[in-house]
Amino acid sequence: MLYGILQEDPSIDDNRKLIAVFATPLSILSEPQGILVESINLKRYGMEQTVQRWVIEAEIVPQDEPPEIFSNRVTNGEVGDIFIQMPQPYSARSSKIEGSTRILADALKRSTTLRVQGAFVPNLFICIGSFPSKVYLVTKVDNTAGTINIFPGLRENVAVDTPIFHSEDVIMRANYDLSVIKGMQYDNGILASMGTLRLVEVV
DSSP state for residue 87 in the 8-state scheme: P
Residues 154 and 176 in one domain: no
Amino acid at 175: N
Contact 89, 137 (CB under 8 A): no
Mean pLDDT of the region 34-55: 81
Same-domain pairing of 2 and 35: yes
Model confidence band, residue 82 (pLDDT cutoffs 50, 70, 90): very high
Q: Residues 6 or more apart from 51 whose CB is under 8 A from it? A: 32, 203
* Shared domain check, 65 and 118: no
pLDDT of 106 over the 80 cut: yes
Same domain, 14 and 82: yes
Q: Quick one: 142 and 181 in the same domain?
A: no
For residues 123 and 139, the answer to whether their CB atoms sit within 8 Å is: yes
What does the pLDDT read at residue 121? 93
Question: Are both 2 and 77 inside the same structural domain?
Answer: yes
Q: How many domains does the chain have?
A: 2
Strand partners, 107: 158
Whole domain around residue 127: which residue ranges?
Answer: 92-167
Has residue 19 got a pLDDT over 70? yes
DSSP class of residue 70 equals: H
Helix (H) or strand (E) holding 106, with range, is none
Average pLDDT over the chain reads 89
d(CA 126, CA 138): 7
Average pLDDT score over residue span 54-59: 95
CATH number at residue 161: 2.40.30
174 shares a domain with 84: yes
